[in-house]
Every structure is written in structure tokens, then in C-alpha cells.
Structure 1
Amino acid sequence: MWSFIVPAHDEAPLIAATLAAIHASARECGVAYELIVVDDDSSDGTAEIARSNGARVESVAFRHIAATRNAGAAVANGMRLCFVDADTLIDARALAAAVAALDAGVVGGGCAVVLDGRVPFGIRAFTAALMHVFRWMRVTPGCFVFCTREAFDATGGFDTNYYAGEDVAFSRALATVGRVRILREAVRTSDRKLRTFGVLDHLRLMLRFALRGRRILRSRDHLALWYDKRRH
């Protein structure tokens, strides 16, 4: 069985579409599955919308994406885990490729990502190029990460020392357990970071990372792109 785990904080505007896409993809692929939304201290109707769309809701108050993902895995019953961000739409093609990869002995992986919305051509081109780098480095973009339960347990799950970049750390940990595959199939994820934060915000983050390295990922202090209120 597959366990789809969706970490969520104030995702009322988008989560219904995300859950509908998961249901449709799983049914089309013919896999047994459960759907878990980990509601991390939401102040809107995220939990109610999730329940009304066929998800089991686990409530936490971490405001910490790695810990929230791990909380979902802790209550999951499936032997195959799939972490899907609450602003991401998967399809049967991507899920079928993930199923085939695990059937072939891969321990986990991710897929390509396409930004949804009216995204400038330059940003789309940069994202496409970044996907090639991720595939070459076996890095899993966090919006769609799959693995076996055995591999997840062997790595210890997502590293809670990180408030962002936990997906990169997890993919590197998976690679110590077995083969990791980044699928060519893509999922669609929201462009809201581009709408909420400008080019200067992104450049400041890149500069801080260049100067301080992974240390900036160990606190929410400079991670507004992930933890400040977002524009839907």
C-alpha cells in the first residue's frame, strides 16, 4: 500500500485540488493507498477541507517542515511513502513512473517540477535547467518525494536540524541506502513564492547561503520564503 503524506499549513485555497489529484492518480494507477494530511498549526479551514476530501488528518504544531513530514510517516501504514506538498498537483503518469521505479529496486526518488501559473519564460527556462542538475546530482525536489518504508526508516527520516533543504538532505541519505532515481515525468507546483517574494528576496537568500552555507537552514530566521505568510 502507498501512503500519501501531505504536510500543510494554512493551505485552504489549494489543498482540495492537491488531494483530488492524488485520489485520481492513485485510482488510475490501481494502487491501494491512504491519504494523510499533517495539519501543522493552521489557522484556516485546511483540516476541514482535507477531511471532506477523503484524507485522514493528523494535527501538529511544529511549524517545521521536516518534523511535519516525519509525523506523517510515523502514523502511515503503507510500505511505500510519497510526500506531496499541499500546493502540488501530481498525475497518473508521474505516479506510475514512481511505482515502476520502486518495483525495479530503487529505494526512492523524486521527479521533475513545472511551475504552475503565469511564470516568465526566463524563470521557466531556469527551472528546467535546474531539473537537469537535480537529476544529475540525484537530488529530490521536496514537492514530490517517494521511497520505501524500509529506506525511510534506515535513513531516520527527514533531518530535523533543517528548516529548509531537508529534501536535499533526505535524498543524500537515501543514496547511502540504495539507488535513487529522479524521474523525467513532472508534477506541477504553485508559483506563489514568485508572487509573494521578489527577485531581491531570492537574491538575498542566495547571498546568505553563499556566505553562511547550510547554517542558515537550521533556523527559521532567514527563511521567509518558506515560513512567512504567502500570497495565493
Structure 2
Amino acid sequence: MKKSDIQDISIIIPVINEEANLGRLIPYLRAVADTPEKLEFIVVDGGSSDNSMEVAIALGAIALSSPIGRASQMNRGARSAKGSILYFLHADSYPPQAYDSCIREAILHKDTAGCFRLQFDSRSRFLNLFAWFSRFNFQICRGGDQSLFITKTQFDALGGFDERYRIYEDNEFIGRIYNHSRFTVLPEKLKTSARKYRKNGLLRLQYHFARIHFLYYKGSRPEVLYAYYDKHIKSN
């Protein structure tokens, strides 16, 4: 395949006070990509008080501002993206070697959206067990930490992320993908930070995540989910 035929990927990274992680992540993404020249990096800031925007610009990324909330931030990035494939990634998550080729190969096989399997930067048996379940292609096993790739055409057709959700926006959107198109879980692993577990406690945080899942499936409004999260979970 000629390089001119290779689809561009727009990598969209929502941030709040992530200057240190951005300084590591963007060089890493370039270093392990098969075709870094076919990547577009878009960092969308939700109101940082650090130098996240300056770091993003210095590393050659497009830096955008948005109202706080990952749904708003990721939609903002998607609107400006030039790539035919969108790849949503957290600032503390590191996809595998040749992740760009893995994503394109999945798209060529008619999978319009998908993610990688999950791995934590921790030796915790509990977290390793939790990550092990990410190999299964069921909606309940999905989460934003696994990253998400999707064709821009499919993203637009589904209407993007629901900005009423301050949290759980990734799960809600992935649920719509499962209902309307093909979703794939690639066998390669993405390594993500366990910092939120270290801050909140493993069992305590997983319990509160389970409660949020329960509230969502019970039909609770987005603001109810956020109020529960804000009360019980310490942010990064």
C-alpha cells in the first residue's frame, strides 16, 4: 500500500492538568507508531491551571480549549479532526507498539470501532484480574481507559458523545456503538495508570464504579451519576 493510501488517524486527548503525562505520551506515540507522519495529535484542555496547553503546542500537537467535561472536550477535538479515523486516548494511557497499524487493520476488516485490551501499571492481582476481563467483547467489559477508535463517519452518524454526561460518557457512547455497528477488541494491550485506584483504594473504587454502572442501568440521569462520583471518588 502506498503511503498516500494510508488513512490518517486523529488522536484526541482530553486533559486537565496533565503537563507531565503529555510530555511523556506524545513522544511515545510518535516513537512506537508505524507511520507517525499520518497521525494528527489534538489535545483538548478543559481548564488546566498548569502548562498542559504549552506542552502540547511545544510537542507539535493542536491545542484546543473546551468547557470542562470529557464528552465536551472529545467532541471539540472530533469536530476539528482531519483524519478519517478518530482515536480517543487518556493522557495516562499508552497503546501498544504499532497501534496505528493495528487500528487501520481493524478498520479494513469492516470493524468501524474498537479498543485494545487493558493492562494496568501495577502488579496488583486484583487489577490484573479486572484487566483480564477486557478481552471479552461485551459492553459491560468496556471503559474509557481502554481507549476508543472509530471512523469519523460512524462517530458523526452516532452524534458523538452525549455532553450531558460529566462522567460515564465513554460507556454511554460505546453502548450506542454496540447497538448500531460492529465493535472489536484487539488482542494487543494498552497500559494505563492505576493512579485513581492508588488514590481511592482498590476495592473502594471498584465498588463505587459498580454502583455507578448500577445507577446508569437503573435509568438514573447524568447529573445523578456525576453527583455520586463527585461525592465518593477522588479525582486524579
Using the size of structure 2 for normalisation, the TM-score is 0.84
Does the 8 Å contact 1:4/1:81 carry over to 2?
yes
Does the 8 Å contact 1:36/1:72 carry over to 2?
yes
Residues 1:157 and 2:163 aligned together: no
**Paired residue for 1:193?**
196
Q: When the two structures are aligned, how many residues end up with a matched partner?
A: 225
Report the Cα offset of residue 147 of structure 1. 0.7
Report the Cα offset of residue 174 of structure 1. 2.1
- One-letter identity of the residue aligned with 1:171: I
C-alpha spacing 1:5/1:227, structure 2 compared with 1 (3 Å): farther
Q: Percent sequence identity over matched residues?
A: 25
Residues 1:18 and 2:25 aligned together: yes
Does the 8 Å contact 1:3/1:36 carry over to 2?
yes
- What root-mean-square deviation, in Å, do the aligned CA atoms of Structure 1 and Structure 2 show? 2.5
C-alpha spacing 1:40/1:111, structure 2 compared with 1 (3 Å): same
Aligned partner of 1:47 among 45, 53, 70: 53
Does the 8 Å contact 2:212/2:229 carry over to 1?
no
Report the Cα offset of residue 53 of structure 1. 1.4
Report the Cα offset of residue 30 of structure 1. 5.8
C-alpha spacing 1:138/1:33, structure 2 compared with 1 (3 Å): farther
Between 170-179 and 6-15, report the one with greater CA deviation. 170-179
Q: Secondary structure at the match of 1:44?
A: coil
Report the Cα offset of residue 120 of structure 1. 1.4
Report the Cα offset of residue 162 of structure 1. 1.9
Does the 8 Å contact 2:9/2:85 carry over to 1?
yes
Structure 1 unmatched ranges of 5 or more: none
Residues 1:106 and 2:111 aligned together: yes
Aligned partner of 2:130 among 112, 126, 141: 126
Aligned partner of 1:7 among 10, 14, 29: 14
**Paired residue for 2:181?**
178
CA distance in 1, matches of 2:233, 2:43: 18
Between 176-185 and 216-225, report the one with greater CA deviation. 216-225
C-alpha spacing 1:52/1:172, structure 2 compared with 1 (3 Å): same
Q: Secondary structure at the match of 1:163?
A: coil
Q: Secondary structure at the match of 2:74?
A: helix
- One-letter identity of the residue aligned with 1:3: S
Residues 1:147 and 2:150 aligned together: yes
Does the 8 Å contact 1:139/1:171 carry over to 2?
no
**Paired residue for 1:94?**
99
Between 206-215 and 62-71, report the one with greater CA deviation. 206-215
Deviations 1:87-128 (A, max 9, x none): 111233433221100012111111111111x34122212221
Does the 8 Å contact 2:19/2:50 carry over to 1?
yes
Aligned partner of 1:84 among 84, 89, 95: 89
Superposition misfits of 4+ residues, deviation over 6 angstroms = none
Between 207-216 and 144-153, report the one with greater CA deviation. 207-216
Does the 8 Å contact 1:12/1:49 carry over to 2?
yes
